A and B are shown apart, each in its own frame.
Chain A
Amino acid sequence: RKEVEQDPGPFNVPEGATVAFNCTYSNSASQSFFWYRQDCRKEPKLLMSVYSSGNEDGRFTAQLNRASQYISLLIRDSKLSDSATYLCVVNMNNNDMRFGAGTRLTVKP
């Protein structure tokens, strides 16, 4: 079983749609969680951290369920500029960040 698993997609949605990505992780001792965004042929960039209570940043909402070892990212009112690959990241300890393979999103006009 992979340490961090994501649905690879691709997700093709129209502008304005709401889309949700899921991620599961295998190590129950994982300490911190993140979503990164990676544009084609570019480096990953931190989108948001994921907190146990859930957190929101504009159109983006992240949720964490430690009991189920499950993380989600919800994007509301999708924009063309949201097209990218979204990476689920789990920090096992201070120097061990594990990345999912990513979920590809294409937002179409």
Chain B
Amino acid sequence: SQTIHQWPATLVQPVGSPLSLECTVEGTSNPNLYWYRQAAGRGLQLLFYSVGIGQISSEVPQNLSASRPQDRQFILSSKKLLLSDSGFYLCAWRSGGELANTFGSGTRLTVV
């Protein structure tokens, strides 16, 4: 069966520090991968998606970047965090034949 792993679960980082969140998927190949952010009391915002290795599409201009170095690995990064980067970051995947995304357990990031 397919599983998605996301870590860490929680993270507290100072303003200006770098960020690296990792997401891996098991049990499937060539999935579509997604990074979302959910701010307190708000809906999920799609940040990046990838349909293959090295292929990244950005939905909104921001302080973040994404990379897909391997088929089932998706990384969210920042060189310098801002206070406004705080939020609940969710990785998701979907295989070609499906219509809905499956989410990882999320990383709760607090920038202080």
Give the B-binding residues of A (Cβ under 8 A).
4, 32, 34, 41-46, 49, 87, 89, 91, 94-102
- B69-112 residues with Cβ-Cβ distance < 8 A to A are 88, 90, 99-106, 108
A-B contact count (CB 8 A): 46
Q: Which residue of B lies closest to A46 (CB)?
A: B100
One of B42, B106, B108 near A101 (C-beta < 8 A): B42
Contacts of B36 in A (CB 8 A): 99
Contacts of B32 in A (CB 8 A): 94-95
Q: What is the distance, in angstroms, from A57's C-beta to the closest C-beta of chain B?
A: 14
Contacts of B101 in A (CB 8 A): 97
A94–B44 Cα distance when bound, in Å, is 17
Q: What is the distance, in angstroms, from A45's C-beta to the closest C-beta of chain B?
A: 7
Contacts of B108 in A (CB 8 A): 41
Q: Which residue of B lies closest to A8 (CB)?
A: B41
Q: What is the distance, in angstroms, from B111's C-beta to the closest C-beta of chain A?
A: 18
Answer yes or no: B35 CB below 8 A from chain A CBs. no
Instruction: Tell me if B's interface is mostly helix, strand, loop or mixed.
Output: strand
Contacts of A34 in B (CB 8 A): 99-100
Task: Count chain B residues whose beta carbon lies closer than 8 angstroms to a beta carbon of A.
Answer: 22
Contact B100 A49 (CB under 8 A): yes
Contacts of B49 in A (CB 8 A): 95
A28–B43 Cα distance when bound, in Å, is 20
Q: Which 5 A-B pairs have the closest CB atoms?
A: A43-B103, A101-B43, A99-B44, A99-B43, A32-B99
- B37-71 residues with Cβ-Cβ distance < 8 A to A are 41-44, 46, 49, 51, 57
